[in-house]
Amino acid sequence: MAQINDNFIKIPATYLFSEIAKRVAQHKEENPTAPIIRMGIGDVSLPLPDASVDAMIVAANEQRSAETFRGYGPEQGYAFLREAIVENDFKSKGIAIESDEIFVSDGAKSDTGNIGDIFDVSNRVAITDPSYPVYVDTNAMGGRAGEPTASGAWTNLVYLPCNAENNFVPALPTEKVDLVYLCYPNNPTGTTLTKKQLAVWVEYAKANNAIILFDAAYEAFITEENVPHSIYEIDGAKDVAIEFRSFSKTAGFTGTRCGYTVVPKQLLGTSSTGEKVQINKLWNRRQTTKFNGTSYIVQRAAEATYSAEGKKQVKALLDFYKENARIICEGLIKAGYTVFGGVNAPYVWAKAPAGLGSWDYFDYLLKEKNIVTTPGAGFGASGEGYVRFSAFGSRENTIEAMKRLEK
């Protein structure tokens, strides 16, 4: 009998968003005409930018002829996209990143999950709490999390609580850690760190030989000046940080799938014998072995988001969701909620009425208001007592949901 990786039986039986989908499907089955409004998983509702669709059509037509047909592409991504990323996301903002530090992928979920492959099981991992469940679950799968406790917390992970009391700014760990997951603008709370606050983490990583895994999937939603779009805006961050980016929320690629990871060449790790090793080389080795690249057609679609037309269309998408987030904040406040986030992020983090747990309140909103949210407790213990509203729905549904809550 083949023996399985036991870590898979230690993790919760279903992934958070699969559990929510299951509960929503059951509610729908029991109430087939229920006018359900989905504000749960951050899945976009507006179509792709025309520029991306046009680029995909051209790229698809290229596949008809032997002269322009593409087979296997570079595992790291085509030069046309890596160079467009360097130019538009970094160089234009005064950040020096080279194209061989960019690894194009099918999205930040895969990369933030897969990055653990190149780090030893002995690393001490710090994760903000609440957090995107992929960080905890994949460390548990990889054996770095230890054992789950009754509260759902894992014995070997170092949790960094982010709550209203500390203004959602994680305190530095009191014990030495080797890897730190930071996601800013934050999923799920929608809160941010200022440049000064992020610089504290870069300093910490330098002083402790730690690596920061910085998930910047929501940077395009930033509206405030002093909020960094990239960790590389902070001096010295290229020595200590990997950054994850995504076209999913920025340009509507949740179904099309494209993202990228930045692994600076100067970022080093240590082998068991004390030798310094370039992390960029290890990630390249991992990707070339386990990944055959994002499809050419999709990479052309991603490249098109950087064209003049593409930029205008992406801005229109972002403006639409930002306005939804504003409507949600305003509606929830009017309905008496305490809310956080929503200003630099497409997520609004709302306190459940006193005494109600996240899942209870999630069930109440689903059954009584036909509104799907995400229970805060699903993102970690510090999320208990909160629910997350996503701003990615239609305008009509967003307004209607707020009306239902006001009642």
Binding footprint of ligand MLT on the chain (CB under 6 A): 41-42, 109, 132, 187
Of 156 and 394, the one with the shorter C-beta distance to ligand MLT is 394
Say which residue the tokens 């006001």 belong to: 406
Supply the minimum distance, in Å, between the C-beta of residue 139 and ligand MLT: 16
Q: Toward ligand MLT, which CB reaches closer, 109 or 300? A: 109
What is the C-alpha to C-alpha distance for residues 390 and 339, in angstroms, rounded to an integer? 13
- We find the least distance from the C-beta atom of residue 109 to ligand MLT, in angstroms, to be 4
From CA 217, how far away is CA 204, in angstroms rounded? 23
Residue closest to ligand MLT when measured from CB atoms = 42
The Cα 40–Cα 347 span in angstroms is 10
CB of 203 to ligand MLT, least distance (A): 29
Do you find a cis peptide bond into 185, omega within 30 degrees of 0?
Answer: yes
Query: Which pair of tokens denotes residue 206?
Result: 């330098």
**CB 374 → ligand MLT: shortest distance, Å?**
6
- Min dist. Cβ of residue 40 to ligand MLT (A): 7
Q: Are strands 276-278 and 268-270 parallel, antiparallel or unpaired?
A: antiparallel
- Shortest spacing between CB 41 and ligand MLT, in angstroms: 4
How deeply is 211 buried, as exposed, middle or buried, from its count of CB atoms within 10 A (0-12, 13-18, 19+)? Answer: buried
Query: Nearer Cβ to ligand MLT, position 210 or 377?
Result: 377
Spatial distance between the Cα atoms of 327 and 395, rounded to a whole number of angstroms: 9
Question: Closest CB to ligand MLT among 78 and 132?
Answer: 132
Residue type present at position 26: Q
Q: Which is nearer to ligand MLT, 40 or 310 (CB)?
A: 40
State the nearest-atom distance from the C-beta of 20 to ligand MLT, in Å: 9
| 116-286-103 Cα angle (round to 5) | 90
Burial (CB count <10 Å: 0-12, 13-18, 19+), residue 109: buried
Report, in Å, the least distance between residue 43 CB and ligand MLT.
6
Decide whether 370 or 390 has the Cβ nearer to ligand MLT.
390
Residue holding tokens 């898979």?
Answer: 8
Check if the beta carbon of residue 184 is closer than 8 Å to that of residue 217.
no
By C-beta, is 132 or 296 nearer to ligand MLT? 132
Torsion sign over Cα 286, 291, 296, 299: negative
Nearer to ligand MLT, 337 or 349 (CB): 349
User: In angstroms, what is the minimal distance from the CB of 341 to ligand MLT?
Assistant: 12
Cα separation, 333 vs 327, in Å, equals: 10
User: From the CB of 90, what's the least distance to ligand MLT, in Å?
Assistant: 22
SS3 letters across 215-264: ECCCHHHCCCCCCCCCHHHCCCHHHCEEEEEECHHHHCCCCCCCEEEECC
Considering the complex, state which of residue 41 and residue 172 has its C-beta at the smaller distance from ligand MLT. Answer: 41
Q: Which is nearer to ligand MLT, 109 or 229 (CB)?
A: 109
Alpha carbons 49 and 313: distance in angstroms, whole number: 6
CA nearest to 182, candidates 101, 154, 171: 171
